[in-house]
Structure 1
Amino acid sequence: MVVVHTTPVPLDLTPFDFTPTESLVYGVLVTRGPGTGYAVARTAGLARANAYAALAGLVSKGAARVEEGRPKRYRPEPAAVLLARIVDRQGHSIDALAQALDEISVPPSPTLTPISSLRGVAQLLGIEVARARVSVRLVLPDEVYTSIAPALRRVSGLDTDLELYSDGPTSGLVSDVQVVEVTDRWPGRPLLGVIDDRLALLGALEGSEASGHWTTSPTLVAAANQAISALSGAG
């Protein structure tokens, strides 16, 4: 018989409001499966009190649950569940921060910020779409829609006007996306967006390289609106 010895998965959950000990214990649970506090303490090389404190923290943060029966056994939540809870928790934190920033009475000034990557575009766009209260107009590749689908579902239940276009068929994660013919009317695949007529995305995707800018300049926001209207045939 071959005995396979596994070691705790090296995870760093500390950027997501978990302690280093909780990260270690979650790794033990993922590697070894459900276990008692005593078994987890032995595997992780922790004092029993520290292991139980970490397990209680994981349960309270939605990363683990307690199975019925005695002695108590702790089971890790699947990765997809953990990620969903982290995203939801961070979403609420971002909303609170955005509201606090909105309430700071600093005179607004137009900004122009370069795009750093397609992933960065999707992350910021997801945040801004979730904050939208009036209108969202987008012309994007399908892979960006896939990333921002949760944010779009969130605002779709509000009175926010949504105009969603893509240069090709989409995966179906986001409904009501209309396909538009771009051909040579834009340099590359369009990365275009206007949120509440206050923020615009003006860019393009060529291969895997994203380029362009985020801007709050009223002139460039108007230009982005015109570009979306032209590509969609609404102008």
Structure 2
Amino acid sequence: MIERLMQVGFSSQEARVYVALLRQPSATGYEIAKVAGLQRANVYQVLAGLSDRGVVEQVSDSPARFVALPPAEVLGRVKRETASRCEALIVDLAAMATPSEPAAFWTLRGRDAVLERAGALVADARERVAVCVMADDLAWLGPALRSAAQTGCQVVVNVFGDVPVDFGEVYRHEPQDMTVGGHVLTLAVDSTTALIASLDEPAGAVYTAHPALLRVVEKLIRDEAYLAAIYERLRPELEGAFGRHLVELRARLLPPDQASRLMSVVGFGADPAAVNELLPD
């Protein structure tokens, strides 16, 4: 009990005197010293301090006798004063503190962790969900996206592959087996959180609330939607200028291994000289 009183601001001697008075009300300094195991001279000094703090009270003069005020009153006052000091400290220290940068990102490892986090982010959405997703991934993410749309969220879906999508604003891209760069998923929710995942093994992802990274992911998803809409409207002109599936433009910007993969999956029928010209050295 003494140690617990010391934890809320009593000294060791103050705690002993207060407990002694609770056990033996209306005691003299001599009696308190015996119960508390303290020197009599020390007890009177402690009693004076406790009286000033409203913890004990003198009830007679000859001889001087003291009583302990009720614990609910004493500790209730300590509680209120401590809370008030802490609230003032919070304000003062917050004014002194230099704002810290938000964490850049958190890492997820393994397919199950990625699927769980992506589904949870969509389930928690309140205003807007935007995603770039392979057709196969709609089997597990589609229900959460549909629920978000049904609750009033704006849902923007860039889908790679021909699969029915009966919710949201849908922008269709080339079939999944004609994509290069791996099995990637990008997701942005409520302009507050973004996730970038690779679902090729070993699967993993990062998700972030950092404003700069979030804007990059949102722009990536938005640009994919722009490209899909433009390509659908102007496909003949674009393919006339850049080849089937814009292969001439894409091959010049992709890493060499992905450019080679693009050539093999598009199969646009160019002669060997044209292929060699497009592929990086």
Normalising by structure 2, we get a TM-score of 0.39
Structure number with the higher helix fraction is: 2
Structure number with larger C-alpha Rg: 2
Larger relative contact order (Cα-Cα within 8 Å, sequence gap ≥ 6): 1
* TM-score (normalizing by structure 1): 0.46
